[in-house]
Amino acid sequence: MIRPAELIERKRDGQALGDEDIRGLILGFARGDVPDYQLAALCMAVYFRGLSRAETYALTDAMIASGETIDLRSALGRKVVDKHSTGGVGDKTSIAVGPIVAACGVPFGKMSGRGLGHTGGTLDKLESIPGFRVELTTEEFIVQVREVGLAIVGQTAQLVPADKKLYALRDVTATVDNVSLIAASIMSKKIAAGADAIVLDVKVGDGAFMKSVGDARALAEAMLDLGRRAGRELVCLLTDMDQPLGYAVGNALEVREALDTIRGQGPPDFEELVIEASARLLALSDLPVDVDEGRRRAQAALADGSAVAAYERWIRAQGGDPDSAALPRAPVVAHVEAPCPGHVVRLAAIPVATAALELGAGRRTKDEPIDHAVGIVCRRKRGGAVETGDILAEVHARDEASARAAVERVLAAYELGDEPLNEQPLVLDVVC
């Protein structure tokens, strides 16, 4: 019999909690036997006192035990891979990586969440494809990974229900921002969803949760530790999120850009990340390849059309129309023009994301509808040279008034300077 008040007191005073204590608290909370206010107090104690690696794993394991788990290796008889990003602006990486990896013969199975606030969710992006179904049953998910080699679906309500409840509580008690709680939340869902090998992309910068490489590395190491304790193979990329990834921010615009990229016509920074993430997944897979060979195979899948063919098979399997002409288009397209000549020295991710959100591309509350057609295309990125009147970005809007407001916001995101920049790399570090 656990006594929540005693455990809260222990954590408040900086003492460690045992595995069984943590399990009892979390499963009791998931059942409704431990009230919200006690878990809220515990989260605040954790926020100030932290959790050890062992406690963080006990928390992760208890959250996994609150719901169903999927064993993709047993279901397919081979290794399945997955990728996860901690969330950034314009991050459509999975939509391009999944088809590349599948085209190389490696099964890719991903359960994904919806976007809230400034980072868009993969599911919202995929739902801009007419007919595309994100809500598959667990059985349908497994069958599709087996038969098509690729599925990206919404997380079922049975998967880690304790995290859903705990995240909602953390969100309103200022306790989201703790490395152990974030790592346990992300990894419980990844482990429960069943892939054996996972590439984690921790975004770093103004547009991300983690503002510094040091904080991102701490989160990466915590997640790698949890994954390994659960018997998974993982690699973590730390990647730049000081500016939007690629050009497009907004659901249908991002799907179109992901498709351009697997046709070999994507923005250079986005293509670099897509190839790197794909290569790392191939190297973790059951194919006998290292990262360099993985990179060659990923590039070949773009060049020979096999990634596009895998994309089309996948989208059709989930009921969607893979033709990019079927994606919705916004009725108004306005331009953001350079007010003077110079070099782009800054393109702040958050103001671009806010402009897209205000256009209707994202949601501020979890039940808000979104407009799949609208968004921003940042034609010029950091380091680019411009003349007065050059188009810095396009705003895709529902009407003229919202377009005008977004043009102002996006213009404010650009900073032009006299000198070209020393460009920083997209992949800042690899933790493995």
In contact, 183 and 227? CB cutoff 8 Å: no
- From the candidates 128, 185, 285, 306, give the one annotated as an active-site residue: 185
* Torsion angle of the four alpha carbons 372, 241, 202, 172, in this order, in degrees rounded to the nearest 10: -70
Burial class (CB in 10 A: 0-12, 13-18, 19+), 313: middle
Kindly tell me which of 68 and 147 has the beta carbon lying closer to ligand URA: 68
Check if 324 is active-site.
no
Interaction between residue 185 and ligand URA (CB under 6 A) = yes
Taking contact as CB under 6 A, which single stretch among the options 134-142, 182-190, 216-224, 375-383 is the one that binds ligand URA? 182-190
- What is the 8-class DSSP label of residue 210? B
* # binding residues, ligand URA (CB under 6 A): 6
Kindly tell me which of 94 and 261 has the beta carbon lying closer to ligand URA: 94
Closest CA to 336 of 266, 401, 247, 414: 414
Kindly tell me which of 117 and 268 has the beta carbon lying closer to ligand URA: 117
CB of 182 to ligand URA, least distance (A): 4
Number of H helices, E strands in the chain: 17, 13
Kindly tell me which of 179 and 338 has the beta carbon lying closer to ligand URA: 179
Check if 366 is active-site.
no
Check if 163 is active-site.
yes
CB of 178 to ligand URA, least distance (A): 8
* Contact set for ligand URA, span 241-270 (CB under 6 A): none
CB of 189 to ligand URA, least distance (A): 6
Residues 127 and 108: their CA atoms lie apart, in Å, by: 19
- The count of residues in the chain is 432
Burial class (CB in 10 A: 0-12, 13-18, 19+), 123: buried
Kindly tell me which of 86 and 285 has the beta carbon lying closer to ligand URA: 86
CB of 186 to ligand URA, least distance (A): 5
Kindly tell me which of 110 and 381 has the beta carbon lying closer to ligand URA: 110
- From the candidates 11, 23, 83, 84, give the one annotated as an active-site residue: 84
Tokens 């306005």 correspond to: 334
Q: For ligand URA, which residue of 106, 142, 182, 407 counts as binding (CB under 6 A)?
A: 182
* Contact set for ligand URA, span 140-169 (CB under 6 A): 167
Tokens 């018997």 correspond to: 231
Which phi and psi (to 5°) does residue 276 adopt?
Answer: -65, -45
Interaction between residue 186 and ligand URA (CB under 6 A) = yes
Sheet arrangement for strand 233-240: 150-154, 108-112, 81-85, 197-204, 233-240, 427-431
Residue whose beta carbon is closest to ligand URA: 185
Residues 249 and 375: their CA atoms lie apart, in Å, by: 6
CB of 225 to ligand URA, least distance (A): 16
Interaction between residue 176 and ligand URA (CB under 6 A) = yes
Check if 125 is active-site.
no
User: In angstroms, how far is CA 281 from the centroid of its own chain?
Assistant: 16
The DSSP element (H or E) to which 126 belongs, if any, is: helix 122-126
- From the candidates 21, 163, 196, 269, give the one annotated as an active-site residue: 163
CB of 319 to ligand URA, least distance (A): 26
Residues 287 and 73: their CA atoms lie apart, in Å, by: 15
Check if 118 is active-site.
no
Taking contact as CB under 6 A, which single stretch among the options 32-40, 56-64, 176-184, 214-222 is the one that binds ligand URA? 176-184
Q: What residues act catalytically? A: 84, 163, 170, 185, 189
Binding site for ligand URA (CB under 6 A): 167, 176, 181-182, 185-186
